[in-house]
Structure 1
Amino acid sequence: MNIALILRYKNELLLLVALIFLISAYLYKLTKSYQDSIERVELAKNITDFNRVVELQKSWKVKNMSQNIDTLKSIVPTVKIQEVNIEGDKLKASYKMLNPNELNMVVDKIFNLPIQIQQFDVKESSKEQFMVDVRATW
């Protein structure tokens, strides 16, 4: 290029460089604001997840869990309880000859306790008579 030509269009070239700089700055601002909004949404989701974890930890860290487990002994007549054994944080429970209403009460109580069920068996021993076997931890 000729220097005289550059000097002749100096103002136009400066305007072109300024316009390119302006467009690139605007595009950078748009992408940055889009990334910030994505990060804000992700942060809000993480906070929600963290709060949910804290709530679950509080519900699973029940201090009187053995008292809650002891209610499994009183929801059906003692004749129908084969075994309700609590060792540390482990539960072994077996029931026999439960009618459908008693079965429903036992299952509801077990599923509403904050425990991790490792084994849960319901067997029909005879017509309208059921056996339940549960192994769980907390």
Structure 2
Amino acid sequence: MAERTGPYDELREPQKRGQATEAILRSAFVVRDIPILVPAYDNEPYDLVVEVGGRFHRIQCKTAYRKSEGTVAFETVSTRKRGDGYDREDYDGRAEYFAVYDPVNDSCYLISVSDAATGKMEIRFREPKNGQRVGINWAEDYRLDEQLEELRQP
């Protein structure tokens, strides 16, 4: 884990971290023999398209960050700086999935845009101290391999 996450942690510029996340996620699909298409321009609401089960899926890549003990989170909206402030837009109808790289655990997740929380989504990888079980987005439910297996089903 430290082999990849150590250098990743040294990237301070958000754009470089985003580029590293995209590269890590692309390689995760490639090693699973999933064909990838990449838009020619950087202004699309998705970062890549994958073909799974004979269908194409638009993917928005996101970087998770430590939220609290046992959880990571990622933004489920696009934020663009405008002259008069910020513009936030969701991905509903503009992408089908978030591919999320979690540098805390060196893990990859695939989450349907329609299932994602609005604004920000937390993923829990460790049991909470209070024993809560309801309303939690468990990491194992979104692991890349399990989600790809579901997408391969007719």
Please give the TM-score of this superposition, normalised by the length of structure 2: 0.25
Please give the TM-score of this superposition, normalised by the length of structure 1: 0.27
**Larger helix proportion, structure 1 or 2?**
1
Rg comparison, structure with higher value: 1
